[in-house]
Amino acid sequence: MIRTFLLFVVIFTLGCNKDDDNQNPSNPNIIPYQEGLTTNFITINNITRKYLVYRPLGMTTVNAVVTVLHGGGGLGVGVSEIGTHPLSVFRTIADNEKFLVVYPEGSLDIQGNPGWNDCRSDDISGSQGDDISFLYQLNSKLISELNINSNKMYLTGTSNGALMTYSYAFQFPETIKAIAVSSGNLPEFPESGLCTNGSNLPLPILITHGTSDPAMPANGGCVANIGGNCNRGKVISQTATLDYWLQRIGLQNINPTISTFNLNTTDAGNVEKRIYSGAKPLIYFVLNNAGHAVPSKTVYTNSSPASGVQNRDIEYSEEVWNFFKGLQ
C-alpha cells in the first residue's frame, strides 16, 4: 500500500513539473500571447505603456516579429484596425506568413495625441516621453519571452514613427535585424548624444517617400507646418537622408537596379523602385507626385492639403514584409 502511494506521488509530481515547464515563456514551443489581437502593458520607469500584439491563428513558432510604429497626432494603435489604416495590412499578411505583429503606443504630445519623442531637438509640440526606453525594453522583453534572438526582430514606422525608427537605429541597432520607413527624413537639428553621435552599424533598410509630401517635405524643411511656426522641427531632404543610409551601409558606390511602374493610373503618379544590392541591401521607392499617406492598394486614405495624394501602386506592408523575409 505504501509503495503504491509513493509511486502515485512520484508520478503526480513528475506530471506537475511537466505542466509547469509548459507554462514557462522561455519554452520555445510556447507563445505567451493569445491568438488574435490582444492589448498588453509594460511598466517603464514607473510608467505603464501599452502595446498590441497580433498573433495569427495557427501560429505555433515565432519566425519573425515586426514592430509597427504609428505616426504622430492621430490614430495611435488604432492603425492596427483592419481597413482603417494601411499599416493594418501587416495583420492580413501575417495570417498567411505566420509572423507576430506588435503595435506599441507612443507617448502623448501637447495636444494629448499619441506620438513619439524621436531625435528632433526642435520638435517643441511633439511627444516628450521616454519612448526610446519603452521600445528598447519592449524589444528586449519580446526576445526573452519568445526565446528568440535579434535576427528575428524588425522595426518599421511612418511619419513620426519613421523618425522614431531612425532614432532607434541610431541607439540600439544591434537589437534588430532591419528597418523600413514611410514618409520620414532625418532631423536637421538632432538632439545631442546618441542621436548625433550614435552607432554606425549598417542595417538593411527600405524607404518610401512621396515627392509631393507636404508634411515631410522631400526637399527638407518644416515638418507638418500647418500653423506656420515650424513647431514640429525641421528635417533634411529625402536625398540627403538616402545618402546618409547609403554611406552608413557602404553602398554609396553601388549603381541601383531601377524599375518603374504605374499600376493605378488614378492616383498621383508612378513609382520608381531602386534596389541597392549588397550584404545589407537598401530599397528605395520614389512615389512620384504622392503625398504623406502610407502607400496602399487596398486601404484608401483621403487626400487633403495637409497630406497630399496617396500612392496606390504599391502595398507598403507587403513590400516591407517581402524585404524583411528576404533577409532571413
Distance between CA atoms of residues 65 and 135, nearest Å? 13
At 151-208, the pLDDT tens digits run 999 999 999 999 999 999 999 999 999 999 999 999 999 999 999 999 999 999 999 9
Cell numbers 531612425: residue: 166
Distances (CA, A) of 192 to 121, 165, 195, 197, 298: 8, 17, 6, 8, 40
Distance between CA atoms of residues 285 and 260, nearest Å? 10
Q: How many domains are there within the chain?
A: 1
- Rounded-to-10 torsion of CA 72, 228, 289, 301: 40
Q: What is the mean pLDDT of the chain?
A: 91
Across the range 243-268, mean pLDDT stands at 97
Domain that holds residue 112: 28-326
pLDDT at 1 over 80: no
Across the range 295-303, mean pLDDT stands at 96
Across the range 10-17, mean pLDDT stands at 36
Is residue 18 included in any domain, yes or no?
A: no
Is residue 214 included in any domain, yes or no?
A: yes
Is residue 159 included in any domain, yes or no?
A: yes
pLDDT at 4: 38
pLDDT at 8: 36
Residue 214 backbone phi and psi in degrees, to 5: -80, -20
Tell me if residue 249 falls in helix, strand or coil. helix
Is residue 204 included in any domain, yes or no?
A: yes
Helix axes 131-146, 160-171, angle to 10 degrees: 70
Across the range 320-326, mean pLDDT stands at 98
Is residue 2 included in any domain, yes or no?
A: no
User: Between 137 and 7, whose confidence is greater?
Assistant: 137
pLDDT at 29: 59
Nearest to 287 by CA among 256, 263, 252: 263
Is residue 7 included in any domain, yes or no?
A: no
CATH of the domain at 247: 3.40.50.1820
Is residue 154 included in any domain, yes or no?
A: yes
Is residue 17 included in any domain, yes or no?
A: no
pLDDT at 5 over 60: no
Across the range 280-294, mean pLDDT stands at 98
What phi-psi label fits residue 281: left (phi over 0), alpha (psi between -120 and 50 degrees) or beta?
A: beta
Compute the radius of gyration of the chain from its Cα atoms: 22
Across the range 293-305, mean pLDDT stands at 96
Check if the beta carbon of residue 135 is closer than 8 Å to that of residue 271.
no
